Structure 1
Amino acid sequence: MTIENPASVWRLRVELLDVAPPVWRRFDTYADVKLSQLHYFIQGVMGWELMHLFSYQDGRGYGDQISSELRLCDVCRVGDALTYTYDFGDNWQHRVTVEKTMARPKGT
């Protein structure tokens, strides 16, 4: 699956699952970002320290892992979600939801 304009900007919401109170962040990134790069963005906005392994799965949280070399726009559309797991020992699961798409700023 690919989108018509992989050069667009997407607004993402990242929520740490199974914690109270809710912990989430919202940020914008390019739709064509590789999932391996998105990992660094999530680490930054969530305050994690890049110390553990990670994986992506479909939004239901089960099934085959998604290659981190794919682009976000290859696996999602607006309204879709992925499960991002960080630290396989503690199994911190996050829902990454594509909330909306916007035009890329001119000159970028």
Structure 2
Amino acid sequence: MDIFNAGAGADPDSILELRVELVDSEPAIWRLFELRSSLALHEAHQVLQAAFGWEDAHLHRFLTSDPFAPLRPVNGQLPEVLQWLPGQECEEPGDRPEEDCSLDQLLTLGSGEAFYEYDFGDSWLHRLELVSRRPAEDDSPPARLIDGARRGPLENSGGFPGYEQIMDALADPSHPDHAEHASWVADITGSDAPFDPAFLDIPAVNRTLAEQFRRTQSGEKRRK
């Protein structure tokens, strides 16, 4: 299959309702978006960064299947796991530039499902699931968060095991590591306010997304 024509036949101006959940999060950490199907993967990356509170401080990749699931041989051979990276990070023959693939193409290749991994050390793996598709209107924004639950884990917290340890210590003032972790969280968040892992400010995320795309559009106009 030609991956760059994988979305052929799909409406380039459709709106995708997309559910994104952090794999293995308990309680579940998830987001529900309305996204233009024509978004390139590097733009989808920025959307996910804003929605989960990441700081774009680590490597990332998009994949058509779970990179940690056991592979089943097909005709005696292991299938290739397709992955898309920023163009400057493509080093292996099978690496594909994320700038050259749309969100719609990725989901088509994954039969309505895909994965996004951020920070290969902490390995925050997100499952992307297409919920529905509808025609876009002229004033439909490129990206909008419409629902979700819980804020994203903190950067550099050690994956879910480390993040859960930090949250346990924060919730218990008598915990021997409470003061140390409270200081670390304040440094990471830039605030001394109590950290609430259940808080999600959807309007703030949408303001960030709107500003991101405003800057992108302004830059494109200047280049023209």
TM norm. shorter chain > 0.5: yes
Of the three residues 45, 60, 81, the one matched with 1:54 is 60
Report the Cα distance in structure 2 between the residues aligned to 1:4 and 1:64, rounded to whole angstroms: 21
Report the Cα distance in structure 1 between the residues aligned to 2:12 and 2:62, rounded to whole angstroms: 20
For the pair shown, which has the larger CA radius of gyration, 1 or 2?
A: 2
Unaligned 5+ residue runs, structure 1? none
Higher relative contact order (CA 8 A, sep 6+): 1
Of the three residues 120, 123, 127, the one matched with 1:88 is 120
Q: Does 1:19 align with 2:28?
A: no
Of Structure 1 and Structure 2, the greater strand share is in: 1
Per-residue CA deviation, residues 50-75 of structure 1 (Å, 9 max, x unaligned), is 11110011133361313312001222
Of Structure 1 and Structure 2, the greater helix share is in: 2
**What is the aligned residue count?**
108
Per-residue CA deviation, residues 36-89 of structure 1 (Å, 9 max, x unaligned), is 100000111111111111001113336131331200122224x61111000011
Of the three residues 13, 19, 39, the one matched with 1:7 is 13
Q: Structure 2-normalised TM-score?
A: 0.45
Aligned sequence identity (%):
30
Report the Cα distance in structure 2 between the residues aligned to 1:34 and 1:17, rounded to whole angstroms: 23
- Judge which range, 86-95 or 43-52, deviates more: 43-52
Report the Cα distance in structure 2 between the residues aligned to 1:46 and 1:29, rounded to whole angstroms: 16
Of the three residues 103, 113, 134, the one matched with 1:102 is 134
